[in-house]
């Protein structure tokens, strides 16, 4: 089955500032679930100028304690891999991330884009689609997908709030029309 969560946000800040804040977003005291984020690969394509990054995030296991009675869910942390392609000339950054933990039972994938807003070239549009599907957990599949859907929605909204706070702290008030 699976669940999909779509998010769209316009940040009233220039693309370069939004991307810089995104890359510094975690770890952050506003989201204690993200323990660490490490860049494991970074390279620039000299012909296109595109910067490729691969980062690994370690997050606390947020599965409710009652569900952790199932042995496969009883892990202290979860690892996520994020790959991004930043094109400074075209002012866009594509991001793909997926969960490295529980891959035999669950698939969690997110695809996101930051790009110059069509409304205002000094603003940045953020679009994200997250998909989670659980298999191999028997009758728990539906329960875990429901929890995951709620967590994904809340996480996306929390991520937007953190970005807005960081942008305000680092860049001042948002840009007007």
Reported as a single tens digit per residue, the pLDDT across 119-162 is 999 999 999 999 988 877 677 777 777 777 887 888 889 899 99
Select 2-171's CATH number: 3.40.50.300, 3.30.530.20, 3.30.1550.10, 3.40.50.1400.
Answer: 3.30.530.20
Phi and psi torsions of 140, nearest 5°: -80, -15
Q: What is the mean pLDDT of residues 91-109?
A: 89
Q: Give the pLDDT of residue 1.
A: 66
Alpha carbon 21 to its chain centroid, in Å, reads: 13
> What is d(CA 101, CA 24) in angstroms, rounded to the nearest whole number?
23
């Amino acid at each position: 089955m699976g669940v999909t969560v779509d998010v769209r946000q316009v940040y009233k800040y220039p693309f370069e500032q939004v991307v810089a804040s995104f890359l510094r977003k975690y770890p952050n005291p506003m989201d204690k679930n993200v323990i660490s984020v490490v860049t494991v690969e970074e390279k620039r394509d000299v012909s296109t100028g595109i910067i490729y990054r691969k980062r690994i995030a370690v997050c606390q296991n947020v599965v409710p304690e009652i569900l952790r009675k199932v042995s496969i869910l009883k892990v202290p942390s979860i690892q996520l891999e994020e790959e991004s392609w930043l094109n400074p000339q075209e002012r866009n950054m594509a991001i793909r991330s997926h969960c490295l933990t529980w891959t035999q039972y669950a698939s969690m994938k997110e695809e996101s884009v930051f790009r110059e807003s069509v409304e205002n070239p000094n603003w940045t549009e953020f679009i994200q689609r997250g998909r989670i599907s659980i298999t191999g957990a028997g009758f728990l599949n539906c329960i875990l997908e429901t929890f995951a859907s709620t967590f994904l929605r809340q996480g996306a909204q929390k991520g937007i709030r953190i970005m807005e706070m960081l942008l305000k702290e680092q860049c001042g008030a948002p840009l007007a029309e």
